[in-house]
Structure 1
Amino acid sequence: MLFNQTSRLAKITSPLGPDVLLLNQMGGGEELGRLFAYELQLTSLDANIDLNQLLGKPMSVGVQLADGGERHFHGIVAQCSQSIDQGQFASYQVTLRPWLWLLSRTSDCRIFQNLSIPQIIKQVFRDLGFSDFEDALSRPYREWEYCVQYRETSFDFVSRLMEQEGIYYFFRHEQDRHVLVLADAYGAHATVPGYVSIPYYPKDEQQRERDHLYNWHLAQQVQPGSLELNDYDFQRPSASIDVRSAMPRPHAAGDYPLYDYPGTYVQSADGEHYARTRIEALQTLHEQIEFNGNARGLGSGHLFSLTGFSRQDQNREYLIVGCRYYIVQESLESGGGSSSAQFDSSLTCIDAQQSFRPLANTYRPIVKGPQTALVVGPKGEEIWTDQYGRVKVHFYWDRHDQSNENSSCWIRVSQSWAGKNWGSMQIPRIGQEVIVSFLEGDPDRPIITGRVYNAEQTVP
């Protein structure tokens, strides 16, 4: 048998060139708002491949479709290994991950000011050299006066920001790249040509030429029915900014409320958005439908309509929120053609009319105690403050700023007395070292609680 990929169901494109690596098996999966991972079992005639020629490089799997087209699974080689040779062939194992996964390999402490969350995310991507992303967001997003990446990977940082705003992502795969699509609504998704509707056939011994689904499993679970948030705005201390969003279900115990504080907002409209997206994230789990099938063109983020199922209420449009794949190639020793290959997938779906939101699973950094920082301002000034007596500081962990009036947000300063038009006022001067605490340990919410001397600012 010739060692090539001609007439095989799935073909490898790698940095080593054509027909150096052939696919035996592929497993793995993907979810909306989560990193994909594809595990490849590969065969080669070369038992001496330098793994450094693969690690960190792009690789793709092309799967032949029924209409003669091809579907691609593209990723970065995050891990590769070699195992004991099988007969005349060498065996290699490769894990493909998205370029976004590389953000889990870098961390920073960094301040962003006066930007929306989508703007911050895109800036992080570009600063790390990535451009394969698209914005399919459906609405404008609030501008954040102050947002801190603090002792966390860039992946964790952008993930928690997306979870905060109800933004998620999926990937569009091409032969030579994969594109991250930022999404927040139904309009970001589309059907696949040839897979607009998928028939359901019960699993039996018949050989069916058309891609189809053959297993169905529906699961429902009790979720909270409402979420209430509250917060505080010191510029409007008497204002009520409590908000609530409700999505009760008709079953028993379907209306239990959640309450949380702080909601990380000062405008009620922003709070309403956060309450709605958080309850929608929980309600995403209320009903999920799983299918098994061999629909080679379908993946996470695609829409399709089910036909031919015995329960008519299930013949509707679905959004695929998760997918697992299993490909088994024909044996090289047997000389089998593509007819002996197997493609199976497991689809996790929700009703297309149900808004998808990512659960807030990413750890939020906590500042575990007070820090010291340097009071800063414009060159030539001694005092730099606003009408509330707030000042700006340079944090010693911030390697990006220039130690000037743009180094931080305005930060409130604790005073020994503070009443209505009476009390004491001691404004920290530029160059002085101050003690900074953080409300709830949140790096986005600093407050100055003291001042200290140092070798340059000495005791009197």
Structure 2
Amino acid sequence: MSTGLRFTLEVDGLPPDAFAVVSFHLNQSLSSLFSLDLSLVSQQFLSLEFAQVLDKMAYLTIWQGDEVQRRVKGVVTWFELGENDKNQMLYSMKVHPPLWRAGLRQNFRIFQNEDIKSILGTMLQENGVTEWSPLFSEPHPSREFCVQYGETDYDFLCRMAAEEGIFFYEEHAYKSTDQSLVLCDTVRHLPESFEIPWNPNTRTEVSTLCISQFRYSAQIRPSSVVTKDYTFKRPGWAGRFEQEGQHQDYQRTQYEVYDYPGRFKGAHGQNFARWQMDGWRNNAEVARGTSRSPEIWPGRRIVLTGHPQANLNREWQVVASELHGEQPQAVPGRQGAGTALENHFAVIPADRTWRPQPLLKPLVDGPQSA
């Protein structure tokens, strides 16, 4: 029975042991598409047709002995044939989540009298994303009309989600290949946090969850948002909402973002202003850390313990991670330092909700015929 750290990869339609993983790099962040780059070797398949791999589902599994530490599932979007020494073939592969396909479609259309859940549901269904969950607590009323104007489905989805204060991430399963896209509008909906200790001893095994480096920073960001709109149905309506940012003790409060038109017709404009403010300040305070644990990824919460800086021993929301694995002995005849795993991640205090920064709306060049 294996007791060490190891990585495996399976691709639909090919034998489970078709590839051995030499190395991988997984880049993830909230409200973006993860990117998984793999270097592979195969002794079974010295020549593979692109049709055997491209647009197929691939499954990376991280093991500690016979116990699964993490699984990642996605679509093979790029595949390269490398060196062939007649005994083995080297390959390279890129994997993205199913939502990646939405970046290949572009459209002009109008949605009428639909709320954000309905609009996003249509986009996901059309792009074959069937495993997704909306976790909403904020009010998201129907829109009289909403236009996708020359944008890819993915860009439109991201813009609409940002306007409504919604972030998204991939929720991974440990014991199965289940994986779903989660759309969320508050940090309170994230899974329960787990404790992970500070331990600068970099020789710690992956089976022992710990953080070996942790650095906390702050930067000056916009301090307030003012959003304004007008409706001819209510000429005397002020249509102006303001939202001050939180946690600004270390900066001036003169950095105002003015937004016009705000695209609202009532008191819901206050929510738009608040969501924008959260988005502009989503990186005002960020901590970056290093760990050998694969269980720290965007969409999770952790509680740091045992750090000598007492104010850092608190709950954090993970917003980004870069997971890198090396398994050089997968190539027959190659010697190396053995299997290694390192996770560089970013977190923000969990007493606030991370939201995406506002995205620009496309502009119409002149009059348009109906």
TM-score (norm 2): 0.92
Q: Quick check: 1:63–1:70 contact (8 Å CA) kept in 2?
A: yes
> Does residue 275 of the first structure (1) align with residue 265 of the second (2)?
no
5+ residue gaps, structure 2:
none
Is 2:332 the counterpart of 1:331? no
1:308 corresponds, among 284, 306, 309, to: 306
| Structure 1 position 62 matched with structure 2 position 61 | yes
Kindly indicate whether the alpha-carbon contact (under 8 Å) linking 1:41 and 1:91 is maintained by their aligned counterparts in 2: yes
1:223 is aligned to 221
Distance apart, 1:134 and its partner CA: 0.6
CA distance in 1, matches of 2:293, 2:205: 14
CA distance in 1, matches of 2:22, 2:10: 14
Once the two structures are superposed, residues 247-270 of structure 1 have per-residue CA deviations (whole angstroms, 9 ceiling, x without a partner) of: 251124245322221111111x21
Matches within 5 A, 1:306-455: 306-332=304-330, 333=332, 340-361=338-359, 363-373=360-370
Distance in 2 of aligned mates of 1:67 and 1:301: 26
Question: 1:130 deviation in Å?
Answer: 2.5
Counterpart residue type for residue 13 of structure 1: E
Assess if the C-alpha contact under 8 Å between 1:284 and 1:354 holds in 2: no
Give the aligned residue type for 1:372: S
SS of the equivalent of 2:238 reads coil
Distance 1:197 1:357, change over 3 A: same
Query: CA separation in 1, counterparts of 2:85 and 2:240?
Result: 65
Alpha-carbon distance change, 20 to 8 in structure 1, aligned in 2, over 3 angstroms: farther
Alignment partners' CA distance in 2, 1:230 and 1:27: 44
Quote how far apart the aligned CAs of 1:187 are.
Answer: 2.2
SS in 2 for 1:110: strand
Match runs of 1:191-230 below 5 Å? 191=192, 196-203=194-201, 210-230=208-228
Residue matched to 2:191: 190
* Matched letter for residue 142 of structure 1: P
| Structure 1 runs (4+) greater than 3 angstroms displaced | 5-8, 174-177, 203-209, 334-337
Q: Secondary structure at the match of 2:362?
A: coil
Distance in 2, Cα, partners of 1:131 & 1:101: 13
> Equivalent residue for 2:177?
176
Given residue 40 of structure 2, which amino acid in structure 1 is its aligned partner?
L
SS of structure 1 residue aligned to 2:155: helix
Q: Distance in 1 between matches of 2:147 and 2:204?
A: 58
| Matching residue's letter, 1:112 | F
Greater relative contact order (Cα 8 A, min sep 6): structure 1 or 2?
2
8 Å contact from structure 1 (residues 232, 241) kept in 2: yes
Contact 2:5 / 2:65 at 8 angstroms: preserved in 1? Answer: no
Measured after TM superposition, the shift of residue 204 of structure 1 is: 5.0
Partner of 2:27: 29
Amino acid at match of 1:17: P
**Secondary structure, in 3 states, of the residue corresponding to 2:296?**
coil
Tell me which residue corresponds to 2:98. Answer: 99
> Quick one: structure 1 residues 8 and 54, their matched pair in 2 at CA, closer, same or farther if it must change by over 3 Å?
farther
- Contact 1:65/1:297 (<8 A) preserved: no
CA distance in structure 2 between the partners assigned to 1:172 and 1:64 by the alignment = 18
CA distance in 1, matches of 2:317, 2:66: 23
Given that residues 75 and 96 in structure 1 are in contact (C-alpha distance below 8 angstroms), is that contact kept between their aligned partners in structure 2? yes
* Residue number among 204, 216, 236 corresponding to 1:238 in the alignment: 236
- Partners of 1:30 and 1:257 in 2: how far apart? 31
Q: Give the AA of the match of 2:11.
A: S
Deviates more, 1:295-304 or 1:171-180: 171-180
| Cα RMSD (Å) | 2.3
Give the SS at the match of 2:270: helix
Is contact 1:203-1:215 (8 Å) kept? Answer: no
Q: Deviations over 1:39-89 (max 9, x none)?
A: 011111112111211111110101114892331011100111111225732
Unaligned runs of 5+ in 1: 374-460
Corresponding residue number in structure 1 for 2:138: 139
Going from structure 1 to structure 2, the CA distance change for 1:160 and 1:207 (only over 3 Å counts) comes to closer
1:90-169 map, 5 Å? 90-169=89-168
Q: 1:11 is matched with which residue: 8, 14, 22?
A: 8
CA distance in 2, matches of 1:208, 1:182: 30
Q: Name the SS of the counterpart of 2:277 in structure 1.
A: helix
Where 1:9 maps in the other structure, the secondary structure is: strand
Checking the alignment, whether the CA contact within 8 Å between 1:230 and 1:262 is kept in structure 2 is yes
Q: Is the 8 A contact 1:75 1:97 kept in 2?
A: yes
SS of the counterpart of 2:188? helix
CA 1:74 to 1:247, structure 2 compared with 1: closer, same or farther past 3 Å?
same
1:131, distance to aligned residue in structure 2 (A): 1.1
Task: Please name the residue that 1:51 is paired with.
Answer: 50
